[in-house]
Amino acid sequence: MKHHSSSVIQLPPSFRCFVLIMALLSVMSVVAQGPNEANYDEARVPQYVLPDVLTCADGTVVTSVRAWERHRRPELMAMLASLEYGFTPKGMKNVRMSHQLVKENREALDGLATMQQVQLTFSRGGVTREALMLVFIPNVRKGRVPVIVGYNFRGNHSVMENEEILYSPYFQQLPNREDPVLKRGNQSSRWAVRDIVKRGYALVTMCYQDIFPDVADGGPRSVTALCDAESEPGTAWQALGAWAWGSSRMADWVVKQRWANKHQLVIMGHSRQGKAALWAGAQDKRFAVVISNDSGCGGAALSKREFGERVGQITRSFPHWFCPNFSRYGGREQELPFDQHELLALIAPRHLYVASAVEDRWADPHGEYLAAYHASPVFALYGLKGLSSPDMPAVNAPIMNHVGYHIREGIHDVTDYDWACYLDFCDKAFGR
Ligand code: GTR
């Protein structure tokens, strides 16, 4: 026995050292669970107090649509702009946008759709920026059709394997034509184009990188360079604000098309684009349905739950997304004078859909659900049904009230299942 135990102790020195380091590291990770680390334990969600969406900063409680629209809504818009997403400069109104049909195929998708590629050129004071939209219009139409607008991540060529699709301007600049990111259709699983068109919806997509290159020093190459800064530096817009602005420019073009129903405009965004879609939907009331797919921190998820990705992490990893002021709340989420349910409430009385995925814990599915739930009193003010229970629905069991929600199985992604839910929800919203 003695021999045995001593043989256990007689480990090679290098291994003993390894065990000691591992033990130290595990102790340190418990003790130093820093304020900016991801928490995946529901038991460690702090006791938090959410600001009441219907109570104004001066303590007045909103009880009418009029008071919401006149006082509380503008107050929340200003708070989110100054502390999270930045102000869109008023000077952007003077940016000129021209559009040019670059390519058209009236028999795309085996004749199901007309595929157009339309270049948008933004100019102001001698500065220009270009973006390229990829558009699918159903060929079978009874009157004007509803339109889904949404950014793609990896360029228009990634949406579908099709030689006719031109590279988005951002990808045209890549020096190496063999680069795997130039592979056609490399994100086609995220774009249920045929299903969308078959259900009678048009789709308008463009690469978010054309609007603001998604790197820390992307600003000077982005549309934000079209306009001088107007606000104090802490409240200046960056990528999320610019992406939201760009969605509205897609909408500007859409509403002028004779095939488009301008009252049935949908915006859908995934992940960082889910965040941008919510902010676009808050600012631009032409979006009749706003869909957030796995948008997480700074999107649909409540910051004060401190679950999954946190404010400190996101603002450090992506210093170019939010306005600089937001980083002040890294590790100080409880001091935020607002939370993301108030962003979701700004979509009312239009339709809102929030979606999560079980394995996407970084985005805090529970926090995404709760934000939609806590936004619901504003929908109720308009006599509309939001989410009525604080308990999440079962997996793959969508709720489709005026506010919709689902959590599906699987990872952080956009799947055919997500699209099927979105199309059902839009059909319901538009009485189709
Ligand atoms: C992650 C980021 C998330 C989400 C995601 C995405 O790296 O931490 O908030 O935005 O990227 O956009 O795919």
pLDDT in tens, 97-117: 999 999 999 999 999 999 999
* Cα four-point dihedral sign 309, 248, 91, 127: positive
Structure tokens at 14: 């290098």
Q: What is the DSSP string of 256-281?
A: T-TTEEEEEEEEEEETHHHHHHHHHH
CATH 3.40.50.1820 is the classification of domain 65-94+137-178+186-429: yes
For residue 313, give the ligand 1 atom closest to its CA: 8
Distance 114 CA to ligand 1 centre (A): 33
Burial of 422: CB neighbours in 10 Å, binned 0-12, 13-18, 19+: buried
Protein residue with its CA nearest to atom 8 in ligand 1: 314
Look at residues 248, 348, 368 and name the one whose alpha carbon lies nearest to residue 299: 368
Pocket lining for ligand 1, CB < 6 angstroms: 271-272, 296-297, 309, 314
Look at residues 232, 229, 242, 237 and name the one whose alpha carbon lies nearest to residue 86: 237
Question: How high does pLDDT run on average in the chain?
Answer: 93
Distance 294 CA to ligand 1 centre (A): 9
What pTM was estimated for this model as a whole?
Answer: 0.92
For residue 6, the model assigns a pLDDT of 31
> Band of the pLDDT at 34, cuts 50, 70, 90?
low
The fraction of the chain above a pLDDT of 90, given in percent, is: 88
Where in the sequence numbering do the catalytic residues fall? 271, 412
For residue 348, the model assigns a pLDDT of 99
DSSP tag of 108: E
Distance 295 CA to ligand 1 centre (A): 8
Q: Is it the case that residue 17 has pLDDT exceeding 90?
A: no
Distance 199 CA to ligand 1 centre (A): 30
| Contact between residue 97 and residue 134 where contact means Cβ atoms under 8 Å apart | no
In a mutational test of the pocket of ligand 1, which residue from 215, 271, 360 has the highest number of ligand atoms less than 8 Å from its CB? Answer: 271
> Band of the pLDDT at 25, cuts 50, 70, 90?
very low
In a mutational test of the pocket of ligand 1, which residue from 187, 272, 297, 411 has the highest number of ligand atoms less than 8 Å from its CB? Answer: 272
| Contact between residue 410 and residue 392 where contact means Cβ atoms under 8 Å apart | no
For residue 16, the model assigns a pLDDT of 44
- Give the domain ranges of the chain: 65-94+137-178+186-429
Q: Is it the case that residue 31 has pLDDT exceeding 50?
A: no
Cα distances (angstroms) measured from residue 44 to each of 70, 339, 358, 365: 39, 19, 19, 16
In sequence order, the 6+-apart residues with CB closer than 8 A to the CB of 374 are: 50, 53, 302, 339, 341
C-alpha distance across the termini of the chain, in Å: 79
In a mutational test of the pocket of ligand 1, which residue from 243, 275, 318 has the highest number of ligand atoms less than 8 Å from its CB? Answer: 318
Strands (DSSP E) contained in 294-386 are 351-357
pLDDT in tens, 131-169: 999 999 999 999 999 999 999 999 999 999 999 999 999
Distance 271 CA to ligand 1 centre (A): 6
